[in-house]
Amino acid sequence: MTPYAYIIALLPLFSFLMIVFFLRWKEQVSSLFSISMIVLGWVLSLIVFIETLGRNGAPYESYFYITSFAGINFELGILVDSLTAIMLMVVTTVGACVQIYSVGYMKDDPRYSRFFAYLSLFTFSMLGLVLANNFFMIFIFWELVGLTSYLLISFWFEKKSAADAGKKAFITTRIGDLGFIVGLMMIAFYAGTFNYQGVFAKAAGGQIPAGILTVTAIFVFCGAVGKSAQFPLHVWLPDAMEGPTPVSALIHAATMVAAGVYLVARSMPIFASTADGAMVVATIGLITSFIAASIGLVQNDIKRILAYSTVSQLGYMIMALGLFGHDTALGEESVGYTAGTLHLMTHAFFKGLLFLGAGSVIHAVHTNDIQDMGGLSNKMKITTWTFIIASLSIAGIFPLSGFWSKDEIVATTLHHPVFFIGTLTIAFMTAFYMFRLCFLTFFGKPRDHHRYDHAHESPNVMTYPLVLLAVLSIFAGWWALPWLSHGYSSFVHFGEVKHEGPNYALMLISTIVAVSGITLAYLMYYRRSISAEKAAERFKPIYTFLYNKWYFDELYQKVIIDPIMKIADFMWNFDARVIDGAVNGTAWLTVLWSDIKLWFDVWIVDGAVNGSGWIIRQLGGALRYLQTGSMQFYALFIVVLVVLIAVFKFELVRIDRAWPFLTLVLALGFVALRFYSRLAAERNDGQSGISQEEKS
């Protein structure tokens, strides 16, 4: 099956096309078809996983040549290794659970079929990204993931907040993608290929200058900063909660945000060749994780709390991978690669469960504010206990999945004191805010009796995925038990396989930290022996600072958005008043000049021509009276003309005194002309009358 692994990605694409062109008006059929395709994809992914496991993770690559440009080959192909096999299972498992869950959650939505079409396209994008065997191909699917996430985040675009959230996610991630493009250009220029194996061979072989490799690694990491919501581009992910809850589950668990971590893991040979570049990655991961965890302490929106927990956990993964790259570049041993990829898998299951559980709660009480909840464990047993399992897992409580992956991450930081302390601090905050969420939502007295009275457990189509993900949240991490000689670290590794025994002291420390966080949440929000209100009042500046999310949105508004808007307004005014003014002014002058030429042509040129014609016509009209046809008139005319010539020729009359004489002659001539013309007209009429009588 491995050579045909691309079919796994094509199945959801086929589902998308079928819904768009044939099934969009058949809601139940469209959802059933979409689910059947993703389930079939899961079955094929399982087969590929088993085959890859049988090869002990040995990579399989297949591709075909498309074209060549500037000496660089462009190709489409697949690479199936241990990382690919695990990600295929994660994406299809969570994707199937989300789609089944959506049947109940979205049943009354007017764009039901469109939603499943988008989910299918989203899944296709992520599967294509995972299967890609080169940077050119991964970038194509990388951008498609960004596009489909925009469509899903702003799915309820009638809400301004949802439309704004979609634009914010799309634009923010484009900033990171710009850096990614620069990194790809540097790879193409210095490596001469986009193929993973070719690039990694040149990076590891020292064929790319060290400084160039460091810069390239940082630019490639910029793409992950955007997609995985790392500092300073982390601000888009909490706002992405405006989309439907199943979308949040898919984005946060197995697709978009996982893409950034996957990119770093897939590009590890580059980061493992530059200690400085890898340390930048690790530092960004730690900063992001701490900032997000601290913000999650005081939020009241159930989905936003989970969103900040996602940002924090992604920072965990990025930090582990960065430390691994740093230590490997310096020739030191590290378990960071195993830890980061393992946490990517376990996090997908318990975070998918948390979001679907949050959706179940919202579906029941129709609010996101945990301050309006309470006591829901009495009415929502399945949702409550599956949610608690996921919370215990993310907190790192033994023996759930999250414990093993978090323990590996803590082990990665042992030789880095700042990272070690930071990781434990974040683990404490994670346990605290997750159980603050649990206690305020599911336990205690109802704080809104109207909502509580109408609360109910979700239908089976929504609770079955919760149970499945709860099982995975418990057992999936057991694959990484340190006592297993052929466990996760033997399958997913970078370089030589490292078998390390359990570090019981470290396990104990991380467990104590997690239990301490849960205990503090229990005392503040369940027993109420410590007043949360008094604590917030006592540390009001800190509380306000965290509640306002470190003022990142306000900072970006003042420092980036407002200046850009002012520049945009200035450019708009400049365009409207100067450029458009010049264009419109030129047009106005052209029209004016055309009007002047038209006036000159009509009144002067045409006037001269028409005036000459009029004069000739009038003169002809006057002179035609001379053509009377009377010999007497012609004789008279000749006599008068001879007399006039003689008068002036022999100066019988002085010219200056001849005007009265001429006037008299002309007047007599005119009278004679009129007389003879009338006489001629009467004669002609008489002749025509005689002719008519003769004819009749």
Q: Using one digit for the tens of pLDDT, what is the confidence trace for 373-417? A: 989 999 999 999 999 999 999 999 999 999 999 999 999 999 999
Q: Is residue 211 part of a domain?
A: yes
Confirm if 73 and 136 have CB atoms less than 8 A apart.
no
Tokens of 156: 């309820």
Q: Is residue 636 part of a domain?
A: no
Residue 681 lies in a domain: no
623 or 195, higher pLDDT: 195
Rounded CA-CA distance 134/139 in Å is: 9
Query: What total number of domains does the chain contain?
Result: 1
Q: Which of 194, 218, 251 is nearest to 63 (CA)?
A: 194
For the segment 425-431, the average pLDDT, to the nearest whole number, is: 96
Cα distances (angstroms) measured from residue 245 to each of 149, 271, 352, 646: 13, 35, 10, 120
Provide the mean pLDDT of the chain. Answer: 88
For residues 76 and 463, what is the distance between their CA atoms, to the nearest angstrom? 40
Q: Is residue 571 part of a domain?
A: no
Q: Is residue 559 part of a domain?
A: no
Q: Tens of pLDDT along 468-485?
A: 999 999 999 888 887 776
Q: At residue 74, what are phi and psi to the nearest 5 degrees?
A: -110, 130
Q: How many CA atoms lie within 13 A of 376 on its CB side?
A: 37
- On whether residue 657 sits in a domain, the answer given is no
Which helix (H) or strand (E) segment holds residue 376: the answer is: none
Q: CB–CB of 347/472 below 8 Å? A: no
pLDDT of residue 547: 93
The structure tokens listed for 472 are: 């995975």
Grade residue 546 by pLDDT with cuts at 50, 70 and 90: very high
DSSP 8-state assignment for residue 458: P
630 in a structural domain: no
Per the CB < 8 A criterion, the answer to whether 178 and 185 are in contact is no
The tokens describing 610, both together, are: 């028409």
In the chain, pLDDT over 90 holds for what percent of residues?
63
Distance CA(363)–CA(243), nearest Å, equals: 14
CA distance to 169, 429, 605, per residue, from 153 (Å) = 8, 28, 69
Domain assignment present for residue 583? The answer is no
Task: Average the pLDDT over 573-592 and give the result.
Answer: 90
| Whether the Cβ atoms of residue 358 and residue 352 lie closer than 8 Å to each other | no
Q: Which residue has the tokens 């829901």?
A: 376
Q: What is the pLDDT of residues 620-659, one digit of tens each?
A: 766 666 666 667 767 777 877 787 777 767 666 665 666 6
Half-sphere exposure of 212 (CA within 13 A, CB side): 14
Could you list the residue range(s) of the whole structural domain that residue 439 is in? 2-550
Separation between Cα atoms, residue 94 and residue 86, nearest integer Å: 12
Smallest CA-to-CA distance from 625 within 686, 693, 680, 547 is with 680
Local confidence band at 687 (pLDDT 50, 70, 90 cut-offs):
low
Burial status of residue 21 (CB atoms within 10 A of its CB: 0-12, 13-18, 19 or more): exposed
